[in-house]
Structure 1
Amino acid sequence: MEKVLSTLKLDQYYKVILAISAFTLFLSLKFSLMVSNDLVAMVSIGSLLIGLGEWRNSVPETTITSQYRITVRNRKNTILGNGLNIMGIVIIGAGVYIG
């Protein structure tokens, strides 16, 4: 477990969203919180989907020169990524409305 956490790189915003939402989902499933656990779980699942959609939309482009290897992540809209984003927004909205 130590190796997994030490190699985890949170260098992009969508990875931070995934890590925080996975942690809050774990909390909502394991412990009783001050707010409704169903609300926290719905918002966490929606955030997970948004993080996955943004990860899918961030396509790495690598340029190799004689001395350097440069990788840039540009955002490109894909059907799968945008679909995950929309599903995440709908699930968050439903969780807030219901909860």
Structure 2
Amino acid sequence: MTKHNKAYKFRLYPTEEQAYLMRKTFGCVRFVYNRMLAERKEVYEKYKDDKEQLKKQKLPTPAKYKAEFEWLKEVDSLALANAQLNLQTAYKNF
């Protein structure tokens, strides 16, 4: 028996308001991802000689950035949480 894969392709035609919200969300996700990556790099550089201390360091979360940057509250929190998951996956795969 052969396995067949089925795929569907959709095209979106968002309104101006929806397109604005998508652009805003993508920008915020990119911002959070880059900030989290920068903080991880800083922590690594600081504790790269002491692996035990490096493992004890808490990783930043999107909630931390929401407190610091109020405009992050305007977008979906699940999108920001996915940025955190994507970064964790990237580190695991590296």
TM-score range, shorter chain: 0.3 to 0.5
- For the pair shown, the structure with the greater C-alpha radius of gyration is 2
Q: Which has the higher helix share?
A: 2
Tell me which of the two structures has the higher relative contact order, counting C-alpha pairs closer than 8 angstroms and 6 or more residues apart.
Answer: 2
Q: TM-score, normalised by structure 2?
A: 0.36
Q: TM-score, normalised by structure 1?
A: 0.34
